[in-house]
Amino acid sequence: MPELPEVETVRRGLLKIAAGRKISGIDVYYGKTITNDVEKFRQALIGQTIVTVDRRGKYLLFRFTNDLTMVSHLRMEGKYFNQPIGGPIDKHTHVVFEFTDGSELCYHDTRKFGRMTLVKTGEEMTVGGLKTIGPEPTANDFTLPYFKAILAKSRGKIKPFLLNQRHVAGLGNIYADEVLWMSKVNPEQPANSLTDQQIRDLHDNIIKELARAIEYKGTTVHSFTNAFGDAGAFQNQLNAYGHAGDPCPRCGTKMVKIKVAQRGTTFCPHCQPLEND
């Protein structure tokens, strides 16, 4: 499901339904979700309290007492929700954290792509994609000179470039299409061939659009819900993603859907022409 705005929305929900709770038991129904030895994972966390939940890119960082951090990535369809201990466990609920207050936190993941990894706090940057993750998409961390410099070094198409989390953290398929549409950049344009204006617009739009989507509590197009089971509201703000065949909101030209790097990609052929020099 989630790109950065959805993960941030989940994080904020987790602060309310999980932070401050002490773990009394853990049930694991699908062991591959946990990359550690499952028994060691359980023994390390039972008795610990969730102090807070942080986020880096699309990764959630559960901070526990005893200097433990659980890195959790939801991949396509991971979800967290809470219920009273003993509530229904369906076939897609893979991990359940029981709390001493009588509630439990369930991890549900239809496609089973999501992963959790427990490390000592401070070692989270050794986990998976956090090893090479790029700057957060904020004005402070993601600077224009940095963006210019990495674009200049890449010969590949701009859309897969933006999806690569080592360049900038947080964009996924929806927001990549949105910021390219907003910036009038063709998704197949070579990264090192963008004009100065396009680079400035893209930089600006990445920062602003992700922040705006957080305000709307994320985008629900397929299955995303926050920790309370609510849909986001940003799907009504989308201009490109999901609008193939519709008129472009800017010029009225019929929007087109193609495949770029194996991902469905919607754009306006008039506003976002491929510039070949």
| 111 assigned ligand-binding residue | yes
Edge-to-edge strands of the sheet including 78-84? Answer: 23-28, 93-99, 103-109, 78-84
Q: Is 259 annotated as catalytic? A: no
Residue from 29, 31, 17, 38 nearest 84 by CA: 17
Task: Single out the catalytic residue among 11, 58, 79, 217.
Answer: 58
Task: Write down the least CB distance from residue 110 to DNA, Å.
Answer: 5
Q: Which of 22, 63, 75, 263 is catalytic?
A: 263
CB of 68 to DNA, least distance (A): 20
Strands (E), the chain: 23-28, 50-56, 59-64, 68-73, 78-84, 93-99, 103-109, 115-120, 256-260, 263-267
Q: Is 188 a catalytic residue?
A: no
Spatial CB neighbours of 113, under 8 Å, sequence gap ≥ 6:
75, 76, 77, 78
Q: Are 230 and 217 in contact (CB under 8 A)?
A: yes
The minimum distance between CB 119 and DNA, in angstroms, equals 14
The residue (of 204 and 230) whose beta carbon lies closer to DNA is 230
Pick the closer one to DNA by CB: 23 or 191: 191
Least CB distance to DNA at residue 155 (A): 4
- Which residues of the shown chain bind DNA in the complex (CB under 7 A)? 1-3, 6, 32, 57-58, 73, 75-76, 91-92, 110-113, 128-129, 153-157, 160-161, 163, 165, 172-174, 191, 218-224, 241, 259, 261-264
User: Shortest CA distance to 45 belongs to which of 66, 75, 72, 19?
Assistant: 66
Residue 200 annotated in active site: no
Residue 155 assigned ligand-binding role: no
Q: Which of 3, 6, 98, 188 is catalytic?
A: 3
Pairing assessment for the beta strands 115-120 and 68-73 based on DSSP bridges: antiparallel
Q: In the complex with DNA, which residue's Cβ is closer, 66 or 223?
A: 223
Active site residue 58: yes
Q: How many Å apart are CA 75 and CA 35, to the nearest integer?
A: 14
Rg (CA), the chain: 20
Given the complex with DNA, which of 111 and 254 has the nearer CB atom? 111
Annotated binding site: 92, 111
Output the known binding site for DNA.
Answer: 92, 111
Tell me the catalytic residues: 2-3, 58, 263
